[in-house]
Amino acid sequence: MCLGLLLRQEASGYEIKKAFEERPLAAFQDASYGSIYPALSRLTAAGLLACRDRPQDGRPDKKIYRITQSGREAFRAALHRPVAPDKYRSDFLFVMMFADCLDRSIVTGLIDSRIADYRARIRAIESNFESNMSDGMRFVAGQGLAVYRAAIRYLEEHRHLVEGLAAQKAIGA
């Protein structure tokens, strides 16, 4: 993943971490400093990256990584390896399976904040859409928008199914 990001532009470990926090990438990949820094060291030792130090005032030196030719080749080879299946885990959906054990107000709150979360993700993607996005990234971002919108729509149109289950409990609350 570091190789892929550095294919587009050179960057420091810190900047790579920031890139993982931006939409749409943040939606389907993540990495912490604890995995990024060692990875950059290993890739550099293997000759897939080159590193140059930019001394800084006060802060630690900034290490700017750049992909090498053999790094480019290794990345292309990696892209051709069979892709691992998606991994998805959702506590929200699990809880919804047991909506009948919850008060209506809880279910309502959960769905409201989930819709708000999807809307925030959509806004974040839309605000990045015009800028420095590659075609591939635009394609991926577009799929994100499509599924988030479908999810919101479903939740709005079918929430009564689970809000009705524990219906009476919260009427007076």
Partner DNA sequence: AGAAACATGTAATCGGTTACATGATTAT
Partner DNA sequence: ATAATCATGTAACCGATTACATGTTTCT
Size of the site for a copy of itself (CB under 8 A): 56
Question: What would you report as the CA-atom Rg of the chain, rounded to the nearest whole angstrom?
Answer: 22
Q: Which member of 13, 24, 71, 144 binds DNA (CB under 7 A)?
A: 13
Q: Are 125 and 143 in contact (CB under 8 A)?
A: no
Window contacting DNA (CB under 7 A); options: 11-19, 95-103, 122-130, 142-150: 11-19
Q: What angle do CA 85, 86, 87 make, to 5 degrees?
A: 120
In the bound state with a copy of itself, the residue whose beta carbon lies nearer, of 53 and 164, is 164
Q: Does 22 bind DNA (CB under 7 A)?
A: no
Q: Does 9 bind a copy of itself (CB under 8 A)?
A: no
CA distance 48 to 59: 26
CA distance 91 to 2: 29
Residue 6 C-beta: closest distance to a copy of itself, Å: 12
Window contacting a copy of itself (CB under 8 A); options: 10-18, 40-48, 55-63, 87-95: 87-95
For 99-143, the DSSP string reads GGGS-HHHHHHHHHHHHHHHHHHHHHHHHHHSSS--HHHHHHHHH
* Strand partners for 84: none
Secondary structure element (H or E) that encloses residue 51, with its range = strand 49-54
In the bound state with DNA, the residue whose beta carbon lies nearer, of 61 and 156, is 61
Binding mask of the shown chain, residues 45 to 64, with x at each position contacting DNA by CB under 7 A: -----------xxxxxxxx-
The contact set with a copy of itself (CB under 8 A) reads 1, 4, 7, 25, 27-30, 75-76, 79-80, 83-102, 106, 110, 117, 134-140, 142-143, 146-147, 149-151, 153-155, 158, 161-162, 165
